[in-house]
C-alpha cells in the first residue's frame, strides 16, 4: 500500500497524523500521480450568467466562444462544461480548464484573442454576466481521491497516471493528510477576501482579491456507464442526500465559512445534460471545510451513505480534489454579475477595507 503523497514530495513530518502507522483503510481508493516536472497547476473557471430562456442562445454562443479560444497555442490540456441555477434565479454556464503549468496558462491568457475579448466593452453591454475564477495551487497544495483508476477527471486529467491503493483515506482528517504540504504546514488562512476594484451592487467590472489558503473542493459523480442497480443507487439514495447538503451550503454557507457553493451538471456544447455532476465549493479555510465535513448533519448523511456503498461500486465513479493556494495565485473577476455570485457575496467592500486598514494603523501606533 502506498502513501497518497508522492515520494518526491515526501519530507520529514513535523505534524503528526491522526491514525497510527499500522492503519488499514476499509476499501481501496487511489490518487493522481505526476512526476517532478509538475510544479504548479492552474484551475480556471470561466462563467456565463443569464436570466431567462431568451438569453440562452447568446449564453451558449458565449460559452462556445470561450471553448474555441482553448484551441489557441497554450490552451488547457483538459476542460469540461457545466450548468447550474443559483438561488437568485440566474442560470450559469461554466467552462473549466486545467493547465499543467502556470507559464503556459499565462501565455494563453495574454494572447490578444483572449485578453481583448475579456476586456472588450462589448462584455459590458451584451446583457450577460461573465466571471473568471482562476487559482494555481503548487504541487504540494492539492490532493485528489478516486474510487477508480482510469480516465481521471478534473486535475487528474493533466497528471501522469494513478497510484496504487493508498493509505490515507477512510478516516476524519485523511483529506488534509493527502496534501504534501500537510507534513509541515497547517495551511492556516491569513488576510481577507476583499473587493479591490468596482462595486458589486453597481454591476460592471469587479475584481476580488483572495487571501492565503482559501480552500477549493471539487467533488464529482459520474453515472453515465452505471447499470440499472448502481444508477438507481445514485439517483434514489445518494443524490437526494447530496442535493440537500449542497443546497444548504449554497444558501447558508456564509455562517460556516463557505464563500461559494455550486452543485453543477455537466453539459455538451449544445447545453444538453450529461450523466455527470460535481460540486464546487470555495471555503475560507481548510479547517472550516473539515469542521463541516466532520460535524454537520448534512455532510454526515452524505458520508454515511458513501461509506455504506463504496466497497461495492463498479461503474458509478465518485471522486474529489481539494486545493489551497497563496493569495497571489488567485484571480476573481466579475462582469455584470449579480452581487451574490461566487466570491462577491463575502468580499469586503473597498471603502470598508480602507477604513479597517486606517483603524488598524491607529491602534498599532
Catalytic residues: 320
Residue 54 cell numbers, joined: 431568451
CA distance 235 to 240: 7
CA distance 29 to 311: 10
**Residue that is written with C-alpha cell 497516471 in the block:** 161
SS3 205: strand
Residue 216 cell numbers, joined: 477549493
Facing residues of 356 across strands? none
Per-residue DSSP letters for 238-278?
IHHHHHHHHHHHHHHGGGTTEEEEEEEEEE-TT--EEEEEE
Over the Cα atoms of the chain, what is R_g?
Answer: 20
Amino acid at each position: 500500500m502506498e502513501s497518497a503523497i508522492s515520494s518526491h514530495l515526501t519530507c520529514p513530518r513535523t505534524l503528526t497524523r491522526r491514525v497510527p502507522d499500522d492503519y488499514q483503510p476499509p476499501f481501496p481508493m487511489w490518487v493522481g500521480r505526476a512526476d517532478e516536472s509538475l510544479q504548479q497547476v492552474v484551475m480556471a473557471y470561466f462563467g456565463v450568467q443569464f436570466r431567462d430562456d431568451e438569453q440562452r442562445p447568446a449564453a451558449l454562443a458565449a460559452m462556445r466562444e470561450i471553448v474555441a479560444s482553448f484551441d489557441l497555442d497554450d490552451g488547457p490540456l483538459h476542460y469540461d462544461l457545466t450548468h447550474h441555477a443559483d438561488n437568485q434565479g440566474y442560470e450559469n454556464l461554466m467552462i473549466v480548464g486545467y493547465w499543467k503549468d502556470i507559464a503556459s496558462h499565462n501565455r494563453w491568457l495574454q494572447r490578444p484573442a483572449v485578453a481583448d475579448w475579456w476586456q472588450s466593452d462589448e462584455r459590458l453591454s451584451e446583457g450577460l454576466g461573465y466571471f473568471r475564477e482562476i487559482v494555481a495551487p503548487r504541487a504540494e497544495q492539492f490532493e485528489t481521491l478516486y474510487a477508480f483508476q482510469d480516465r481521471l477527471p478534473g486535475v487528474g486529467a493533466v497528471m501522469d497516471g494513478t497510484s496504487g491503493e493508498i493509505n490515507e483515506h477512510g478516516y476524519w482528517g485523511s483529506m488534509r493528510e493527502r496534501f504534501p504540504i500537510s507534513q509541515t504546514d497547517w495551511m492556516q488562512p491569513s488576510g481577507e477576501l476583499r473587493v479591490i476594484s468596482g462595486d458589486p451592487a453597481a454591476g460592471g467590472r469587479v475584481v476580488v482579491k483572495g487571501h492565503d489558503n482559501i480552500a477549493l473542493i471539487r467533488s464529482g459523480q459520474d453515472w453515465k456507464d452505471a447499470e440499472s442497480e448502481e444508477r438507481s443507487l445514485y439517483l434514489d439514495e445518494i443524490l437526494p442526500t447530496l442535493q440537500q447538503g449542497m443546497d444548504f451550503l449554497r444558501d447558508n454557507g456564509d455562517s460556516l465559512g463557505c464563500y461559494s457553493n455550486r452543485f453543477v451538471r455537466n453539459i455538451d456544447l449544445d447545453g444538453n445534460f450529461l450523466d455527470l455532476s460535481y460540486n464546487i465549493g470555495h471555503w475560507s479555510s481548510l479547517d472550516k471545510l473539515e469542521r463541516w465535513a466532520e460535524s454537520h448533519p448534512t455532510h454526515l448523511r452524505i458520508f454515511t451513505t458513501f461509506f455504506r456503498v463504496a466497497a461495492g461500486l463498479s461503474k458509478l465513479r465518485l471522486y474529489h480534489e481539494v486545493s489551497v493556494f497563496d493569495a497571489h495565485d488567485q484571480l476573481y473577476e466579475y462582469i455584470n454579475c449579480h452581487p451574490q455570485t461566487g466570491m462577491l457575496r463575502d468580499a469586503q467592500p473597498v471603502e470598508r477595507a480602507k477604513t479597517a486598514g486606517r483603524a488598524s494603523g491607529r491602534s498599532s501606533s
